[in-house]
Each structure stands twice: as C-alpha cells, then as structure tokens.
Structure 1
Amino acid sequence: MGHCLSCFKNQANADNSTSQRNKDEMTEIVTTHQVPAVMVSDYPQEEPLLHNNENSIIYRNNTNLQNANTLASVGEPCPEVHPQKTQYCPDKSQKTFYQKLPSIPRTMSSLGTSEPRISEYKINQLFDQYKDSLEDAILAEGIENLCNDLQLNPDDFKVLVLAWKLNASQMCRFTKSEFVQGLKNMKTDSIKGIQLKLNEITCGLNRDSESFKDLYRFTFKFGLDVSTGQRILPTDIAVLLWRLVFTNNEPPVLDKWLSYLEKNTHIRGIPKDTWYMFLNFSEFVGEDLGTYDDTEAWPSLFDDFVEYENDQMNQNVTKSDIKIQD
C-alpha cells in the first residue's frame, strides 16, 4: 500500500535510535544535576518509564526523589530512593546536596537577654518636662520638681549621687547633655528607673571604697561656682557638703571638725588639697586624735584643728582635777 515491511522496519529502527539517544541524554541530566553523587553510587539506577510514548524520562516519583535529596543533606534516612533499602545518608566526609548553613554569630545570642532597652527619645521627653522655659537646662525649680517626683528632698544624699552620675558641673543646674548622657550611662529612661538605680548605686557605695572616693572628689567640684571661676570652696558650703557626702558613713572626727570650722569664722574657704586630704585624715586619726602626727605633711589647717582639740581636752582635764580637789 505504498510502504513495504522494510520501510516499517527502517522507520522503527530510526525511532528506537532516537528514543534511546533521548533516554541517555535525560538520564545524564538527572544524574548530574539532580541526584547527589552518593545516591548515584550507593543505589542502582531506576528503570526509566516512557510516558504516553513521548521521548521524556520520568522516574516513579519526582516528589519523593526531591524529598530524598533534602533528607540526604541533613543525614536522615532515605527510604524513598530505593524501596527495598533503608540506610542513612553519608557522613561528613562525603558531599551533600546543600551547602552547610553558617553558624549564628555570638552577638545574636544577646537578642534574648532581659536587659531593658533604653530610649533616648524618652530621656529627651523627661528632660523637656523639667527644663527651664528660657534656658535649655534644668535649673533650681526644675530640680525641685524632679526631686518631688523622685520622692526625695533636695538636700538628700541620693540627689548628690544623681548629680555625680550626671557629672553635673555645678549645683542647681543640669544641662541637657549632662542629663541625657547621664541617664544613658545609668541605663534608665524613666522616673521609676532613676529611683531603682539610685537605690542600687547608694547601696554599692558602702561596699566600694573607690567609687566613694570618686564621689567625694566630685563633691568639691560640684560645690564651686564655675560661672565666677571659683577655686576655693566657701566654708559654709563646705560644711554642708561634708555633712551630705558622709551621710551613710560618717567618720568619728567629723562632728568635731565641722564644729571647729563653724566656730572659727576667720577660716574663709577650703582649698581642694584640704578637701581631698580630709578623707585620708578622717580615716587615719581616731575620735581622740591620739594617732595624729604633726610631723607628717598634713595641711596646716589640720595642725590648728588638732592643737585646738588638745587644748580643749586639757582644759576639761584641768577643770575635772579642780573639782576633785575641792
């Protein structure tokens, strides 16, 4: 009918050759680009199936094969690759389909910490609440309002601690930079937070002598009037600040020392060296001043004070002797 048997045979051979060539190409593609090398080597090749007499290669279940590839990358069983075998995928010495994910940096572990996050915006709002209407600073009235909200008296020891932590340059004045940076250093942005921090810092001063020394030195600078270039602390201000800074750890000699300064009105001021040395002096001498050595390099004001106190003690002893003799 126009075609002989040999023509059909030749056509069939040509179709078979084309089909076999397509099968080989597709098998090579699947083996090279989809199946990990270990899977090709460990398991026998699946028999490809022709679908609808088209020249395409389809494995029994592409979805299962992809799942097997995924499991192979993490070391899970791969039963779908070969139905008669269940074995674990290769160890670290063999290649995996997916690259290893990078490890999480150490800094990421801090994301879950409970430390509160400080808001500079809230600190600025807090500053605006107390700042002066004409000047970009918290002045006497604003500090008084702040103390009221903190439930503190303006002459409370904790107010001095707050000024120390804000690194305030002078009394009755907190600049914006001092207030904002100080609260950031204290890690707080609210009135409640300031209260908690002041309690914590105040308790710590009783245990940390170095921190107290830093507060003590700050107090002298804090009492100066920097607007006039003052370098010597007025005696009346010095007396008030000595009482304030020693609120929680008053040395035995303090009352006698302050009483001496108040009686001797000719003492106009306290230099920085005298202020600094008094801390050592108060730790060195006892209440009776018996351990004081006037040959040491003490300020002359301390010599005068000890001499005055010794005279007072001698007078008391003499008067007592007279009464006994009578």
Structure 2
Amino acid sequence: MGQCLSPCCEKQGPHSPAGSLGRDSAQGGQSNHPASLYIAGVPVSDSKDTGCGEPSTPGSEWKMFTPYPKLPPIRKQGGATSEGKRMSLVSREVSESKILALFELYKDAEEDCILADGIERFCMDLEVKPEEFVVLVLAWKFGAQTMCEFTRAEFLQGCKALRADSIKSIQSRFPELLADVRDRQAFKDLYRWTYTFGLDSASGQRTLPTDMAITLWKLVFSQGEPPVLQRWLEFLEKHSNIRGIPKDTWELFLNFTEQVGDDLSSYDDTEAWPSLLDDFVEFENDRHNQNVTTD
C-alpha cells in the first residue's frame, strides 16, 4: 500500500494511525494512541473526527480510509439482461414476407386464396379441428367474410394483428384469443359477425339456413351454453317449416338468453321480440302444461 501524501496525514508523524493498520506501528513500537482494532481501516470503537483524520478530542480513536480507485460494476459476459430480452420481444415486428410465404403453403392452386382444403391443412398444422371454437375466433380476428376461405389480404392483415408470422406464433396466440372473447362486448361482436360469416355471399344469400344456424349456435356458445339453448335448437329441429333464421332473430336471441330465465318466466310478450321467439315460448309453455306431446 502506498504512503498517503495528503496534508492531514503529513501532520500526524511516524506514529500516527495513518501509518498503522493494527495495534503496533510498522517499526514494531508502541503507538502513542490507545490500542484499538481496525477492520478495513476503520476502528471498531465509535468516534468522531474533524473530517481529515485528526482526532476531535485527545485520546479519541482515528478513522482511516484507504483510498482506492472505484471499480466498475460486474457484468455478465455473453448474455443480455432480462429487461433487454423483454424489450427485444416487445419491439419485434412480424415479417410480412414470412406471412406471405405461409399463405403460399395453403393457397389454392388456381385461386389467390386459401379454400376448404387449404384451411383443413392449416388447421392440421395448428393442431386444431376446423369445427373448434378457437378456429371461429381466429377467422373473426382475420376478418374473414366467407366461411372456408381466407383471402390474401385477410390472412396478411390477420397475422399482423396477431403479431404472428409462423404456425408456432399463431398457436401461441390461442390463449389470448380465447381470453379476449370472455369480455361481454367482444363476444357480442363475435356473435354478430358469425351470422354474416355463415351466409353464402357468392349466391347473394341474405337469410341463414336453419341447419347452418343450428350448427353455428352450437359452435359460438360452446364455451358457455345458455340454459335455454338446447330447447331452442330442439324447437327449430321439430319445426321443419322454419327454413331460415333472419338476422334480427339471430341477434336478438343473444339478448333473449340474457334476459329470460331458464323457465322462461321472465319473458314479456309485450316487448318487441321476433315472432319466432314468441312461437318458441308458446311451444314451451304448452309442452310444460302437457298440451303437446314431446316425442
């Protein structure tokens, strides 16, 4: 250790604590100050000083601080910090070229879109079935206009919205997709979109066929089935004369499931419900009163 050349140390003389790290001086003699134990240059006993190493009162202990250069903080070699990794993931942008390459894997040979066969292979790679609820939600997020079809623009914009450009990254978004539609307004938007999604737009279809409506009702409510749903579907199946479901009936059925109790006791026929729902309630009341057979 080098000798301290500061003025406050020069005043202390050869026997000052500035020249000793223990009870004895470097020459082996006795110090003029009371013996005390120093740890890292600081005496164990509590004492006050004047700020440059001189005792404030005779007989008080010295504080000695050995000057040394400040060491830089230790950094891990060859690895990014967790904060850096997090920021890297947040700022990562999806690759449009990767999305388009993925689209080409499933695109129809003649049409510039993914059709039924391609969607089946797409679902197989995603390890889901085409009739699963999450596929319906995925099509909704893609903004698909026609069932069993993804246009190039829908696929590209949908993947960008999901921040996904590979099968693996799309799969990783499934929990987020399912969590999103637990929100009441988000589910309402999905429900309304499902009606249009089920129409055959190529033929100019404006009313959803009853058999398609039944299939879509089962699918859209598969994560949370209203108590009245099965009786409603049974009513539709028993009345083959009901060929189609108008859009207003589809949309108001969601309100119907929320406002009418399981036993339909809360139904108010003075409200502006579609006539098909009036017929359903009447049918259920008659069946409950055993005025009609149930076989």
TM-score strictly above 0.5? yes
The Cα shift of 1:306 comes to: 0.1
Match of 2:227 in 1: 252
Matched, 1:214 2:189: yes
The Cα shift of 1:267 comes to: 0.3
- Amino acid in structure 2 at the alignment position of 1:178: E
Return the alpha-carbon distance in structure 2 between the equivalents of residues 272 and 291 of structure 1. Answer: 23
User: Which residue, out of 254, 258, 272, partners 1:297?
Assistant: 272
Q: Deviations over 1:200-220 (max 9, x none)?
A: 1112322x1111011001100
The Cα shift of 1:290 comes to: 0.7
User: Which residue, out of 220, 229, 241, partners 2:204?
Assistant: 229
Q: Deviations over 1:4-48 (max 9, x none)?
A: xxxxxxxxxxxxxxxxxxxxxxxxxxxxxxxxxxxxxxxxxxxxx
User: Which residue, out of 161, 164, 167, partners 1:188?
Assistant: 164
Match of 2:147 in 1: 171
Q: Deviations over 1:38-71 (max 9, x none)?
A: xxxxxxxxxxxxxxxxxxxxxxxxxxxxxxxxxx
Secondary structure of 1:315's counterpart equals coil
The CA RMSD over aligned residues, in Å, is 1.9
The Cα shift of 1:277 comes to: 0.3
Aligned residues of 1:137 and 1:174 also touching (Cα < 8 A): yes
Match of 1:238 in 2: 213
Aligned residues of 1:150 and 1:191 also touching (Cα < 8 A): yes
- Amino acid in structure 2 at the alignment position of 1:258: L
Return the alpha-carbon distance in structure 1 between the equivalents of residues 177 and 293 of structure 2. Answer: 48
Match of 1:38 in 2: none
Return the alpha-carbon distance in structure 1 between the equivalents of residues 269 and 234 of structure 2. Answer: 21
Return the alpha-carbon distance in structure 2 between the equivalents of residues 114 and 197 of structure 1. Answer: 14
Q: Deviations over 1:201-249 (max 9, x none)?
A: 112322x111101100110000000001111000000000000000111
Q: Deviations over 1:69-128 (max 9, x none)?
A: xxxxxxxxxxxxxxxxxxxxxxxxxxxxxxxxxxxxxxxx9x944223200000000000
Match of 1:132 in 2: 108
Gaps of at least 5 residues in structure 1 are 1-108, 320-326
- CA pair 318-248 structure 1, distance change in 2 beyond 3 A: closer
Aligned residue pairs, count: 209
Aligned residues of 1:130 and 1:138 also touching (Cα < 8 A): yes
- CA pair 270-190 structure 1, distance change in 2 beyond 3 A: same
- Amino acid in structure 1 at the alignment position of 2:150: F
Deviates more, 1:168-177 or 1:189-198: 189-198
Matched, 1:143 2:115: no
After superposing on structure 2, the runs of 4+ consecutive aligned residues of structure 1 that deviate more than 3 Å are 316-319
Matched, 1:121 2:103: no
Match of 2:135 in 1: 159
Identity of matched residues, %: 58
The Cα shift of 1:318 comes to: 11
TM-score, L = length of structure 2: 0.68
Gaps of at least 5 residues in structure 2 are 1-83
Return the alpha-carbon distance in structure 1 between the equivalents of residues 266 and 282 of structure 2. Answer: 13
Aligned residues of 1:235 and 1:270 also touching (Cα < 8 A): yes
The structure number with the bigger radius of gyration is 1
- CA pair 317-174 structure 1, distance change in 2 beyond 3 A: closer
Return the alpha-carbon distance in structure 2 between the equivalents of residues 160 and 291 of structure 1. Answer: 32
Match of 1:204 in 2: 180
The Cα shift of 1:316 comes to: 7.7
After TM superposition, list the pairs within 5 Å mapping 1:21-40 onto structure 2.
Answer: none
After TM superposition, list the pairs within 5 Å mapping 1:9-28 onto structure 2.
Answer: none
Return the alpha-carbon distance in structure 2 between the equivalents of residues 193 and 253 of structure 1. Answer: 38
Return the alpha-carbon distance in structure 2 between the equivalents of residues 134 and 196 of structure 1. Answer: 31
Aligned residues of 1:161 and 1:198 also touching (Cα < 8 A): no
Return the alpha-carbon distance in structure 1 between the equivalents of residues 87 and 192 of structure 2. Answer: 39
Secondary structure of 1:279's counterpart equals helix
